[in-house]
Structure 1
Amino acid sequence: MADGTFNITGLPRPADAVSKTKKIPYVTNLPLRYEISAFAGSKDKEVRKQWTLYVLALERFKSKPVDEKLSYFQVAGIHGYPETVWDNAPPPKSDPVGPQPPGGQPFGGYCNHNGINFPNWHRPYMLLFEQCIWDNMKDVIGHWKTKHGLPDSEAQAWYTAAEKWRLPYWDWARKQSYTQDFAYPEVLTQGTVRIYPPAALKDFYPPSGIYANPLWGFSNPELNEDGDPYPFGSMPKGKEEWNIKDDPVDHQKELPDPNHPNNDTDWIPWSQATGISRYGIFVNNERTGFRGLDGINNPWTANNFLSNVDLIAKSDPNKQIKHNPGNLADSVNRMFSPDYNSTWGQFASTKWKNEGHTNATGYMSLEYIHNNVHNLTGGSSFKTGVGHMSDVPVAAFDPIFWLHHCQIDRLLAIWQSLYWDLWFDQKEPPRNPGSKYPNVPDDTETDFLQPFHDKANGDPLTDVWTAKKARNWTDLNYQYDDLMALSQKALAPDGTLDEEKFTSDLEVYINATYPSTAKLVSAIREAPIDTPEGLVPDDAGEKSKAWKDYIINVVYDRYALNGRSYTIEFYLGGPENKLKTHFEPQNLVGHVYTFGGGVRSTESSCGNCKKQSDAGVLSCGQVPLTIELLHHTLDSIPDHPIDNFNEVEEYLKLHLQWRFVQSGGAQLDASKFPNTEISVLRGVGKPRQVKKSAAPEGAVQYSAMESLTLDTVSTAPTLPPIYSDYEVLPEITHNKPGGLAVSA
C-alpha cells in the first residue's frame, strides 16, 4: 500500500440527527440534497453560502493535477478511461480463468453496468465525489482565513454551511421553470453563475458576484507552456499513464463524411479533446478533422432532445400534444407503479435473464432510463454533435454526470421507500443445460464494490463497500429535499414516521410530479373533444376509465458492436429510400440506448463487459407507445394519422419500424444484431384514486401532502396507475428484422 486506502465515510452526521422509524429510513435534521435549480436559485442566505462554497470547491477540485488520487480527473476516471488502478484496489488481471481477488476484474476497470448492483455501485461513488467537494470547501475557507484574513468567527459560519451542504441532483423527469418544459437546468445553460462570498473578501471577487460556472465543462488541468490544456490523450512527460484513449482504441484514422446519411463512422476522438463537450463535436466540412475538441456546450440542442410531454389543456382543446422519444416522466411513473417491476433485479438493471422474463412489464429498469438520459444529455451523432456523456469510458468527466447520478440515487431511495423488502429478493435460476454460454450469476448484496474503501489505511481487498453496507442512505448522512418534506408531513404523535401514510403520500407525489399516460387519458376525457373510439378495452364497459396500453419490449445485445454504443430508434412511419438500403425515418416515438463504449473483446478492456460478452448476457428495455398513438390519433400526423383507436394494431403492423444507429450516427444493417428480439404488447391501464382515510362520517380526507417547495398536489390526488393483462401481438413485428415472429 503506497499511500493506504481512502476512507469513504459520508459527510459528518449532525449531533441532533435521530432515527425515527421502524423500517423505511427517516432521520431528523439530516442535511439535504437539493434539486440543482432550487439550489442554484435559492434566496435563503444559508443555502447561498452552501452554493458559493460548492461553486468554488468544484472549480478547485477540477484544477488538481491528474496524478493526484483525489483529483477530479482520477475520481472521474474510476468510471472508465484511463482504466488504471485507483486507491490500491485489486489491479486488473489478464487471466479470466485463474483465481481472482475479491471484487477483482479479470480484464481491467471497475464498470458495474448491466448488473443488479448498478445503482448500489454508484452510491458510494457519489459519496466519494461529495466528500471530495466537501474537503475542497474546507480548503477554500482555510485559504480565506490564512491568505485573506477572514475572521475566525465568520469562518466558523462558513464551516457550518459546509457541514450542512450535500450534493445536488438534476431531476430530468421534471419540467424546468425557465422553459416550462423538460430541459437542462438553467444553470447548465450559462457560462457564468452568481456567488455570494464573504463581504470581507469583496476585493478578491467581482463586485457583481458573477463567476465562471464550474458546471459548464471540464478541461484538462495539465497545461502546456502557453497555458493551454494538453489533449487528454497527450499528457505531459511523466504523466503518460493518464492518457485517455479514443473509442474504440484500435480504429482506422478515417473521418466520416458529414454529408453521407449512412457512413460507418469508425471512432470518436476522445484522445484529441482538451475539454468535455455536450452536443459539441462535429466533423469539419472539409473532412480535415474534428471541431469542438476544446470543449463545446450546446445546451439548446440538448433541450430540443429533452423536451417532453405537453398535455392537452381544457382551456385549449386544440393544442397539439408535444412529446419526445422516451417520455422520461411517464417512464419514471411506470417504474414506480405497483408490480410494474416485481423484483429488485427488474428495477435495478437492464440485465436480461436468458432463462425467461415472466413479467411483461419488467423491462422498465432504473438503469435503462439512466442509459437514455446519458444519450439525450450528451449527444451521440456527428450530425447534431457528439458529447462525452453518451460514452461510458468518458462520461464522468462531464460535471453534469454527478447531477444525473445523484438523481439516480434519489430514484433508488424513492424505490426503497416504497418497496423496502424488494432487495436482492430473487436469485437468477441456473442457465438452461443446452445453453452454449457459461453462466454469469447475478451480483449479491455482499459483493465488493471496488474500488470504494470504507476504512482509512485498510485492507484494499476486503475493507470495501458493499450494497448491504450502502443500503440505508440516511446512515450515510444525507436525505433528499422532497423525501424529507414528505417525511415531516407523515409523523405519528410520538415523532416517528407513520410509514403507511408516508408511502401513500409518496405515491401521490410521484403521480403528481411525473405525468403518466393516465394523466393524458384523463385530460382527453375531460377536454371538450371526442374521446378516441376504441380507447377503452372491449370488455371493460363504456363508463370504464381504463385504457388500452401499448408497449414495445426489447431484448438486445449490449456487446453486439464489440461493446460500442448504439441506439435502436423506433418510428411510426417512413418509406424506404430509392436504393432500398434503409428507410427514411419519420415520427420518432422512442429509443433504446445501449450506453457502452471502449473495446470489449481484448484483455485490456472492461472486465465486467468482457465477462458478460463472453457469456452472451443480453439486456432489455421498453418503449411506452400509448401517448404517441394518442398523439397520432388526435393530431392527424401528416401521412400517418390514426382515425380510430380500434385501428391501432393494424396501423402498427403497417407503420411501426425501427433502425439501428451506431454512436457517431451511422445506420447499420439489422443483420449485425442477431440476438435482438422486439415485441409489441397490448395491456390495460387503470387509474388509481387515493383511498379515503378513517375520518368522521361524511368527511372525505386524503393522505396527501398540502404543498411542497417543488410541486403541489391536486386536491383530488391520484396514485400511479396499475398496468396489467399484457398480451404479445407477434403479427405486428412478424417479418421485421429482429421482430418477434408469429409461431408456425
Structure 2
Amino acid sequence: MSRYYLITGRKDTGGSYDRLEIEELQKNQKQFTLFILAYLVLQGRDPESVTGERYPIKVPPAASFPELAGIHGLPFAEWLGDRKNEADFNPNDSKDTHPVPSRFGGYCNHGSVVFPTWHRPYVMAIEQAIGDIATGIADEFAKKLEQEKSEANAWKQAAKELRFPFWDWAAKKVQTEGVPVVLTCDKVMIYLPQNRSIEVDNPLEFYGFKSIPDGFEDEVLDPSNPEATAYFKEWTRTFRYAPSTPTPNGSNTAKLNEKIKERAPQIRCQVSDLFTVGLKGTPSLVWDEFSNHTTESLRKMDYYNINSLEGIHDTMHDTIGGNGHMTDPNYAGFDPIFFLHHCNVDRLLAFWEYVYPEYYMGKGYPHGKKMYPFTQSRGTYNLVYNSQLVGDTPLAPFRTGDSQYWTSDKARFLDGKYYCYPEVAGVKIGKDITDKERIEARKKLQEYYGVDKPQPIQVGGNMTRLPYDFHVPAPQKIPKGYEVVKDFRRMVIVVQTPEFAFNGPYSIEMYFKNTSTGTEEYVGVVAVFARPDRSPCRGCISRREGGSIIRGIIPIPLNIIEGIITSLANTPNVADSEPNLEELIANELKENLNGKIVDRNGNEVGSAKGSIEVADEDSLSRNIVPDITLISSAAMRSNSHNGDGPIEWADWLNHGKVFKQDSSWKKA
C-alpha cells in the first residue's frame, strides 16, 4: 500500500461518466443523495442525527476536506497525501522567506502556463474522495436492501457513475436567475432507500471549521474604515459577501446574485472569446495567452486579445466571494463552491483543448531564433523561484504513483481520467473529430456562449441599418482566405495592472456615462486574485509595487456601442459627412469611460473619469495605477466555410489610453 494518497480518479468504476451540472445532478435523485451525503461526511458533518443512518466510512486523513482545501493556500503546510522527509522549501532560509510575497503560498500554480493543468488533478482528488465515500454509502444501503435487489443494484450503479458536478456560471440563465439555489440554501432534500425523503444540512452552502487553521488572520483592508475587514481568524465558517463583523448572521446571497447578474454578460462574452482564436498561431504563444493572466511570452503584436481562462476564473472568484473566503487565494479552497467553480474551469479547458489540440506550452516559446522556457516566477512549495515549466514538470503534490507526479503532459486531454462532460450545442468531447468538424465546433461554442455580432438597429424615422452602417475604414490586415464581416468593429478595453498593488485582492470596474440619460452603465471588470502581504520593510513594498503585471480584457458591450452610434447618426451632419466612425466612437468612449478600483468589500480605493486630471496630493501613486487602453478589431470568417465559419478577430488598432494621464487616478 502506498504511503502517498495517489490521484487516480474514479479508476475502479468501470468506465468514464459525465460530470453533471449541479442542477442536473439534483434531478438524479440517487446520485445527488450520494453526493450530498458524501460531501457531508468529507466535511466531518455526520448526517446520522438527521437520517438515522450510520455511515461507517473511514476517510483517509489526506482526503479530508480541510486537507484538500488547504492544498490551495493556507495553512501553508505539507499535504498529508504527499509527506516527504525533506521539502524543497526551507522556512529558515532567507532565499525562500525574504522575497515578497514569500514563495510558499501553497502548492497552487497561478500566473503561469500550468494553471489549467495543475487544477485538473486537484479537482480529480476531491472527485475521488467523494466517489469513494459514495461507494461506501451505497454499499451500506445495499446491505439493508437484500430483499430488493433491483434497488440495491441501482444505488451501487449510481455510486459508480457519480462524478463531481460543475456549476456553469457562464450559462445564459445566470443573467436572470443568478446562483442556483442549491448552492446557497440552508437545507437540501435527499431521497433515501425505500422512498424516504428527508432534508439535511447543505454542504454546498458553507464549510464549518472544527478549528481555525494555522495562519488565518483578519484582513484589515483599510485601517480607517471599520467596514473593510474580513474576519478570517474569527469566522467559524465560510462566507460569501459577509458583513464586516466577527459574527455575521450568514452570507449575503442577495448581494451575490446582484453582482453575478450584473457581470454575467461579460463572463459569457469572455468565454465565447476563448473560441475565437484562429488555427494558424504559434502553439506555445497561444497557450500562454489562453492559460494564464500574466502571458510571459507575448509582445504587444502577438496578442489575440482574448481574456485568459485564468482571468475569467479570477473574475468569478471575486464575483462569488465579495468580502468572503472565495475572493482570497489563501482561503478560497475552504468554500465548498470552490471545487464546483474549478470543475467548470476544467470543463472549459476540456472543450478548448478538444477544438485546439495543437496549442500547448511545449518546451517553451520562440523569440527571434531562440527558444525560451516558461517559468514559475514566484515559486511554489515544490518549485523554487523561476523554475522552468515544461510538459513534464511535476504538478506537486498530486501523484500518480509512489515515484511519479502528475505532469501537464499527463493531465492534458480527458483520456484516462474516467470522466467527461455533457455535450454543449452538439459538441461532445471524446468523439473522433475532423479538422472541418473542429471548425464547426468552434462556431457552435462561440454562439452558445454569445459571441459579439452586429445587429440591426433603428436610426431615425423607419430606417433600419447595421450598427456600423455609415463608414468604417476597410481593414488593412486581413489574412488571405478570410472574409471581413462588413461594417463591424469591436471595441475592447485592455487593462494591465500590478498584481500586488493593493495588498490583496482587488478589482478594476469600468463604467460608461450615458450622456443622453445621465446614467452610468456597467461595462466590465478585471479582478485581481492576489494574496495579501504584511511585510513592513520598505524594500519589500517597493518590489511589490513593481511586481508582476496582470493583463485583462473587457469587451465593450454592443448595446453601449449601438447607443453611441444612434446618438451620432441622429446628430446633424455627422452621418452625411461620412466620418471615420470608429474614431468617433473611440473618442466618445474615452471621454465618458469611468474607472473604479475597489477592494474585496466593494469599497472604492481610487477612481478616474475621462480626461480629468487630479492634483498630485490627491492622486494614487503612479507605481500602482493600472494602464488602460482602448483597442478595436475587425471581425472575419474563413472563406472555406462560405463565409459562415466561426468569428475571428483581426486588424487590431490602438486608440490610445482611456485616461490621458496616470495622474487621472484619484485616491478615495
Match of 1:470 among 397, 407, 411: 411
Measure how far apart 1:378 and its partner are: 1.7
Cα 1:675–1:657 shift into 2, 3 Å? closer
Aligned to 2:600: 663
1:409-420 mapped onto 2 (5 Å cutoff)? 409-420=346-357
- Indicate yes or no: 2:569 matched with 1:569: no
Match for 2:208: what amino acid? S
Cα 1:524–1:162 shift into 2, 3 Å? farther
Cα 1:738–1:374 shift into 2, 3 Å? farther
- Indicate yes or no: 2:660 matched with 1:729: no
Contact 2:105 2:330 in 1 (8 A): no
- Indicate yes or no: 2:98 matched with 1:164: no
Aligned to 1:511: 446
Measure how far apart 1:480 and its partner are: 0.6
Distance 2:307 2:105 in 1: 29
1:295-444 mapped onto 2 (5 Å cutoff)? 296-307=250-261, 324=263, 327-339=266-278, 343-353=286-296, 356-362=299-305, 364-379=307-322, 386-425=323-362, 426-427=364-365, 440=386, 443-444=389-390
Measure how far apart 1:128 and its partner are: 0.1
Measure how far apart 1:529 and its partner are: 4.5
1:320-719 mapped onto 2 (5 Å cutoff)? 324=263, 327-339=266-278, 343-353=286-296, 356-362=299-305, 364-379=307-322, 386-425=323-362, 426-427=364-365, 440=386, 443-455=389-401, 458-459=402-403, 463-482=404-423, 486-487=427-428, 497-518=432-453, 521-522=454-455, 524=457, 529-532=464-467, 537-539=472-474, 545-562=486-503, 564-573=504-513, 586-599=520-533, 616-630=547-561, 632-633=563-564, 647-669=584-606, 670-671=620-621, 673-674=623-624, 676-686=626-636, 691=641, 719=645
Cα 1:427–1:553 shift into 2, 3 Å? same
Distance 1:158 1:140 in 2: 9
Match for 2:330: what amino acid? P
Residue 49 of structure 1: SS of its match in structure 2?
helix
Distance 2:650 2:458 in 1: 21
Cα 1:253–1:193 shift into 2, 3 Å? same
Residue 111 of structure 1: SS of its match in structure 2?
coil
Aligned to 1:707: none
Higher RCO (C-alpha under 8 Å, 6+ residues apart): 1
Match of 1:73 among 32, 57, 66: 66
What TM-score does the superposition give when structure 1 sets the normalisation length? 0.70
Q: Deviations over 1:340-360 (max 9, x none)?
A: 985111100001438734324
Identify the range of structure 1 (51-60 vs 666-675) with the bigger mean alpha-carbon deviation.
Answer: 666-675
Measure how far apart 1:257 and its partner are: 4.2
Measure how far apart 1:467 and its partner are: 0.8
Cα 1:355–1:331 shift into 2, 3 Å? closer
Distance 1:138 1:535 in 2: 64
Measure how far apart 1:730 and its partner are: 1.7
Cα 1:599–1:147 shift into 2, 3 Å? farther
Measure how far apart 1:532 and its partner are: 3.8
Contact 1:446 1:466 in 2 (8 A): yes
Aligned to 2:18: 32
Cα 1:347–1:540 shift into 2, 3 Å? closer
Distance 1:150 1:214 in 2: 32
Aligned to 2:49: none
Distance 1:630 1:11 in 2: 49
Measure how far apart 1:676 and its partner are: 3.3
Contact 1:326 1:591 in 2 (8 A): no
Distance 1:169 1:372 in 2: 17
Measure how far apart 1:148 and its partner are: 8.4
Q: Deviations over 1:561-604 (max 9, x none)?
A: 34x111112122399xxxxxxxx99333111111112427599x
Measure how far apart 1:48 and its partner are: 2.7
**Aligned residue-pair number:** 590
Match for 1:303: what amino acid? N
Aligned to 2:127: 130
Measure how far apart 1:362 and its partner are: 3.5
- Indicate yes or no: 2:108 matched with 1:111: yes
Residue 69 of structure 1: SS of its match in structure 2?
helix
Q: Deviations over 1:130-186 (max 9, x none)?
A: 00101110232244356887867643432222111111111111123xx77362124
Identify the range of structure 1 (269-278 vs 667-676) with the bigger mean alpha-carbon deviation.
Answer: 667-676
Measure how far apart 1:326 and its partner are: 6.5
Aligned to 1:713: none
Cα 1:339–1:449 shift into 2, 3 Å? same
Residue 730 of structure 1: SS of its match in structure 2?
strand
Distance 2:628 2:222 in 1: 35
Match of 1:276 among 238, 254, 268: 238
Cα 1:11–1:95 shift into 2, 3 Å? same
Instruction: List gaps (5 residues or longer) in structure 1.
Output: 18-29, 42-46, 223-231, 234-241, 259-264, 284-288, 309-323, 380-385, 492-496, 576-583, 604-608, 638-642, 693-716, 740-744
Measure how far apart 1:677 and its partner are: 2.2
Measure how far apart 1:117 and its partner are: 0.6
Distance 2:546 2:149 in 1: 60
- Indicate yes or no: 2:190 matched with 1:195: yes
Cα 1:55–1:681 shift into 2, 3 Å? same
Distance 2:334 2:441 in 1: 34
Aligned to 1:246: 217
Distance 2:422 2:257 in 1: 25
- Indicate yes or no: 2:206 matched with 1:217: yes
Contact 1:37 1:186 in 2 (8 A): no
Distance 1:734 1:184 in 2: 38
Match for 2:24: what amino acid? A
Distance 1:154 1:388 in 2: 40
Match for 1:722: what amino acid? E
Residue 62 of structure 2: SS of its match in structure 1?
coil
Q: Deviations over 1:405-438 (max 9, x none)?
A: 1111011111111111111144275999xxxx99
Q: Deviations over 1:496-545 (max 9, x none)?
A: x2433541342232123111211xx235489984544567622279x963
Distance 1:625 1:513 in 2: 19
Measure how far apart 1:92 and its partner are: 3.5
Residue 121 of structure 1: SS of its match in structure 2?
helix
Cα 1:346–1:720 shift into 2, 3 Å? same
Residue 729 of structure 1: SS of its match in structure 2?
strand
Contact 1:344 1:424 in 2 (8 A): yes
Match of 1:121 among 118, 121, 124: 118
Residue 635 of structure 2: SS of its match in structure 1?
strand
Distance 1:76 1:4 in 2: 20
Instruction: List gaps (5 residues or longer) in structure 2.
Output: 47-58, 379-384, 477-483, 569-573, 576-580, 607-619
- Indicate yes or no: 2:37 matched with 1:56: yes
Measure how far apart 1:219 and its partner are: 1.3
Contact 1:85 1:92 in 2 (8 A): no
Identify the range of structure 1 (387-396 vs 623-632) with the bigger mean alpha-carbon deviation.
Answer: 623-632
